[in-house]
Amino acid sequence: GNSVTQMEGPVTLSEEAFLTINCTYTATGYPSLFWYVQYPGEGLQLLLKATKADDKGSNKGFEATYRKETTSFHLEKGSVQVSDSAVYFCALSGETSGSRLTFGEGTQLTVNP
């Protein structure tokens, strides 16, 4: 079956530091890949997505590239802000019809001023 593995957290950074959160997946074919973000006390919201190999999703300074050869979709940001403190979830939706969204465990990011 499908699965998503995220780097173990939590992650604590200083403002303006570089961020990488690793995500690897297991799935047959060509799934769609997503990063969702959950701010404190809120539901999840889509941050970015990529639907085919070598696609780069980007939003709010965050980027992730769909790497089929390494089955990865790592999230990066060049300079984090305190307001980026949240939980980040990697997720995939399988290629076949009827495939549901599968989430990773989530990574807690705290950015200190």
Window of 21-29, 34-42, 60-68, 73-81 that interacts with other proteins by CB under 8 A: 34-42
Window of 11-19, 60-68, 74-82, 92-100 that interacts with other proteins by CB under 8 A: 92-100
Instruction: Tell me the number of residues near other proteins by CB under 8 A.
Output: 22
Are the C-beta atoms of 21 and 109 separated by less than 8 Å?
A: yes
22 binds other proteins per the rule CB under 8 A: no
Who's near 109: CB < 8 A, 6+ residues apart? Answer: 9, 10, 11, 12, 13, 19, 21, 80, 84, 85, 86, 87, 88
Window of 38-46, 56-64, 65-73, 74-82 that interacts with other proteins by CB under 8 A: 38-46
Question: Exactly one of 35, 106, 109, 111 binds other proteins (CB under 8 A); which one?
Answer: 106
58 binds other proteins per the rule CB under 8 A: no
Who's near 42: CB < 8 A, 6+ residues apart? Answer: none
Q: Which of 64, 59, 83 is nearest to 25 (CA)?
A: 64
